[in-house]
Chain A
């Protein structure tokens, strides 16, 4: 069973509001991934980190999305100005390599 912790489990925001969610990876896992799963169950990779460094991110992430994994603090994903299309399940996964990825429970974001 995954030991990845994500908070909050549910997040409701109005359009234009900031939305911030956090992730504590499994102990000993230096690689953290963020994926978005939309209402059609489609996965979209957003960004990943190894320790504090960004490994890869998609273009969308560079605009309204920001993420970080500071040392000794939870990782976070923030949407600066939420849009209705951002409503989705945001999944954080951690790994001890670039292979097995274990997902946390997710943060379900609803943008009204």
Chain B
């Protein structure tokens, strides 16, 4: 399977609260799970990723969790700020031999001041 399902598609949170985005994947051989942030008119920027030999990774205000058994990974943004407002995409490699990524449909995050 190639699909990566991402939910929710729209997320509105109050400044200072946390935001969570969840993704599920089909390919059990997938071994790398990146998250991209894309602001309007800009290119996607890699903000954090996790490999299959880890269950949790944290950098600055971002936490990624991976549950290989459930084929699920999630992004948690703690203490959200208006600057976190953007579109977020998860991805997983459909083909680990070539690196081809399959992307989720994206989550529009709005952080209200």
Contacts and interface: CB of A to CB of B under 8 A. Distances in A.
B99 A99 contact: yes
B103 A43 contact: yes
Contacts of A100: 34, 46, 49
Contact of B105 (A2, A41, A98, A99): A41
B90 to A, nearest CB: 11
Contacts of B94: 45
B45 A98 contact: no
A101 interface: yes
Contacts of A98: 32, 93, 96-99
Chain A interface size band reads: 20 to 34
Interface string B20-58: 000000000000101010100011111001010000000
B98 A102 contact: no
Contacts of B102: 43, 45
Interface string A69-112: 00000000000000000000001000101111111111000000
